[in-house]
Amino acid sequence: MKVRPLSIDGAWELSPVLHGDARGVFTEAFKADVLAETIGHRFDLAQVNLSVSAAGVLRGVHFADVPPGQAKYVTCAAGAILDVIVDIRVGSPTFGAHDTVLLDDVDRRAVYLSEGLGHAFCALADDSAVTYLCSTGYNPGAEHGIDPMDPQLAIDWPTLAREGTRLDYELSAKDTAAPGLFEARDAGLLPRYDAVIAYLRG
């Protein structure tokens, strides 16, 4: 498995080796030892989520309070998505910046994002199936969102689906009503960079 650090500290792209023949493809989609060596500690799996989305569905930007936060290992088993990691840690050198990775059923890459980072994606094909391995379980009182269309984030969302048709974005009511980055910061919703680093080191 090949590992590439992203431009946001605490996020990586992981590319597995694909073994294909006339029967299909086999790959090791998750390797605990590789991930632990990459992130510097064991990844404790608490919950596995699966979402299936039509082309144009946009989910996020989602994040959880730290501690404990929620680290995620994200893959796309069917279809394709543009996965987006956002640095929402107040005080971080890259606060407000983001990085993107194409996750699909061809290269079968994954992304890992550590606690304190924001996550979003846009489905590029119908029936795109996304799996999230999560370090903590669902805790609605500690989970929040930021408007993915906030101009302060300046995310260049794709306009075309994988087959070349134009995308019509569809967001949940909760994501549509989410505050912008600076609004969330001023409301005290965002994790602090120093607190996240201290938590991870502990």
Could you say which of 73, 112, 132, 144 is catalytic? 132
CB contact at 8 A, 79 and 190: no
CA distance 20 to 172: 38
Could you say which of 62, 98, 119, 144 is catalytic? 62
Is residue 144 part of the annotated active site? The answer reads: no
Catalytic residues: 62, 132
